[in-house]
Structure 1
Amino acid sequence: MNATENRLPISLEFFPPKTPEGVDKLAAVRAQLFALQPEYCSVTYGAGGSTQDGTLQTVQAILSEGVDAAPHFSCIGATRESVRAQLAQFRQLGIRRVVALRGDLPSGYGSFGEFRHASDLVAFIRAETGDHFHIEVAAYPEMHPQARSPDADVQAFAAKVRAGANAAITQYFFNGDAYFRFVDEARKLGVDVPIVPGIMPITNSSQLMRFSDACGAEIPRWIRLRLMAYGDDKASIQAFGLDVVSQLCERLRAGGAPGLHFYTMNQAHATLQICQRLGLA
């Protein structure tokens, strides 16, 4: 199989650094990862837009390096006027892509604001700006932790797409069956946009378990037990994680996944290793 036949679109997620040293470190990480020729990079921000300035600075840096970039854009606690102002700022900065999310209600906020759901935000962006923005939304193969049921969750996802989303990025998962089932259920509801699996490299078991418990992503029992058995043996954890995640990516590619979105945690090595295993580096 040659490199062209093997090609699978890749995108990368970063979080905005909080220190000048972090800014320099992330620039070095990007320089390494851009060898993968990512389609775009997304940049997160905190509850209520708490890191918004850092997010936009990171997005601008990526754009200046010749790679497309999308800020995460959550609507919880927002007003139509505040969202309108942010969209105008995005346009002014040359941003053409956003990841539209509901977001988490920060402590101290008394209400959702004027947008209760991500689908409301997507519809508003489309009403205000037409087709100017390429809109990504979130998908949850193992169900959003606050959803009433799996069916309600996939219906909510379909509503975001009907509101005008161009594509979706999933929460990370380690069970390929969950992804393929979710895609099948979404297709039955008429969803035809790309649903790109989110990939979390395994490099730190305690961090992974903490993140997974918080966001509702399941770590299969056999993986959790193996990670626990390795204790503080970082080399074994990373070698095992590389095998597990590379095999998952191979299965996703074989099953027709339209791309891979890597949650890099602002690190280059693990994502590069996985892509090398897949013949994508």
Structure 2
Amino acid sequence: MTAATPAPLFADLPGDISVSFEFFPPKSEKMEEQLWDAITQLAPLQPGFVSVTYGAGGTTRERTHATVARIARETALVAAAHLTCVGASKDEIAEIADQYWDAGVRHIVALRGDPPPADGGRFVPHPEGYASAADLVAGLKARHDFDISVAAYPEVHPEALSAEADLDNLKRKLDAGATRAITQFFFSTDAYFRFLDKVLAAGISAPILPGIMPVTSFAAIRRMSANTEIPAEMERLFDGLDERPGPRALIAAVAAADLCNRLYAGGVRDFHFYTLNKHEQTYAICHLLGLRPQP
């Protein structure tokens, strides 16, 4: 007689995790309703912070500021604003930083930023701007005592000269005053834990939050992956589901929860979710991990 699995996969997880959520600024009234529905549904999970993204070249600057300011004004959530080096002088960034500080925003996600298509996909610093995310972090810290998060790449930034150069860049950002790093999304726990080993060997002790991306479109995941490995079993799991959004969403939630569960088994307790302004999958994953809403 075959023995049954000794314990349920998710039912008994204690919920001793901390979460944070990323949103993007809405482009229309309908999208704004979707965003605020997501914020309202996820807020009872008591995230440590929620961040709002920022388009290349400042294309969403005003919308990002309006969204972050509203979160800070109308909710009890800690709002974090993304800020990049792309297409802005140091004076312009200082003005934006002052506006956030005056609005009560104390957390910035400082990024070099993706270059606009007009630059041929190559980052070109503004003549009077910051040349790197590390320089941006230093400039922001000199302006105000922000809590700053930066980006990390378990499978190496596509433009990095080497894994060692990429790790050196992360160290410079943290040494400049950043508090924590948030990783690019990944699907291999081995890649994340190997990266943590290298981070610790480099003398970095700051938290490295894993960035979790639930699959909303597998074709989109392939486009965005760059250096990110997509395991063969994941390809098999999502085969044929891009035309079946209902089943895909259910399977994606369980797949992401399984990834988080394996990270949890390795000692991870802090998770950052790329929500894409949709609350159902992220809420389901948190529930599977034992997190419950608080009054």
How does 1:1-281 map onto structure 2 within 5 Å? 6-63=15-72, 64-108=74-118, 111-113=124-126, 114-129=129-144, 132-213=145-226, 216-230=227-241, 232-281=243-292
Distance in 1, matches of 2:143 and 2:61, equals 21
Which structure is larger by alpha-carbon Rg, 1 or 2?
Answer: 2
Distance in 1, matches of 2:28 and 2:15, equals 38
The SS at the match of 2:243 is coil
Distance change (3 Å), C-alpha of 1:231 and 1:74: closer
Query: Which ranges in structure 1 are unaligned for 5 or more consecutive residues?
Result: none
Distance in 2, matches of 1:51 and 1:276, equals 32
Distance change (3 Å), C-alpha of 1:4 and 1:107: closer
Distance in 2, matches of 1:108 and 1:240, equals 38
Greater CA deviation, 9-18 or 252-261?
Answer: 252-261
Distance in 1, matches of 2:245 and 2:124, equals 43
Distance in 1, matches of 2:180 and 2:12, equals 25
The SS at the match of 1:67 is coil
Higher helix share: 1
Q: Deviations over 1:106-132 (max 9, x none)?
A: 244693123221111111112222xx2
CA contact (8 A) 2:22 2:273 kept: yes
CA contact (8 A) 1:105 1:112 kept: no
Greater CA deviation, 169-178 or 220-229?
Answer: 220-229
Distance change (3 Å), C-alpha of 1:269 and 1:160: same
After superposition, the CA RMSD in angstroms is 2.1
CA contact (8 A) 1:195 1:258 kept: no
Distance change (3 Å), C-alpha of 1:231 and 1:138: closer
Q: Deviations over 1:70-94 (max 9, x none)?
A: 1110012322211211111111111
Task: Give, as a single letter, the amino acid of the residue that structure 2 aligns with 1:119.
Answer: A
Sequence identity of aligned pairs in percent?
Answer: 40
CA contact (8 A) 1:167 1:194 kept: yes
Distance in 1, matches of 2:237 and 2:63, equals 37
CA contact (8 A) 1:203 1:270 kept: no
Post-superposition offset of 1:234: 2.9
Post-superposition offset of 1:219: 1.6
Post-superposition offset of 1:67: 0.4
The SS at the match of 2:210 is strand
Post-superposition offset of 1:231: 5.2
Distance change (3 Å), C-alpha of 1:116 and 1:6: same
TM-score of the superposition, structure 1-length normalised?
0.92
Greater CA deviation, 265-274 or 57-66?
Answer: 57-66
Post-superposition offset of 1:162: 0.8
Post-superposition offset of 1:105: 2.0
Runs of 4+ in 1 over 3 A off after TM superposition: 1-5, 107-111
Task: Give, as a single letter, the amino acid of the residue that structure 2 aligns with 1:100.
Answer: A
Greater CA deviation, 261-270 or 110-119?
Answer: 110-119
TM-score of the superposition, structure 2-length normalised?
0.88
Distance in 2, matches of 1:76 and 1:204, equals 28
Distance in 2, matches of 1:231 and 1:263, equals 19
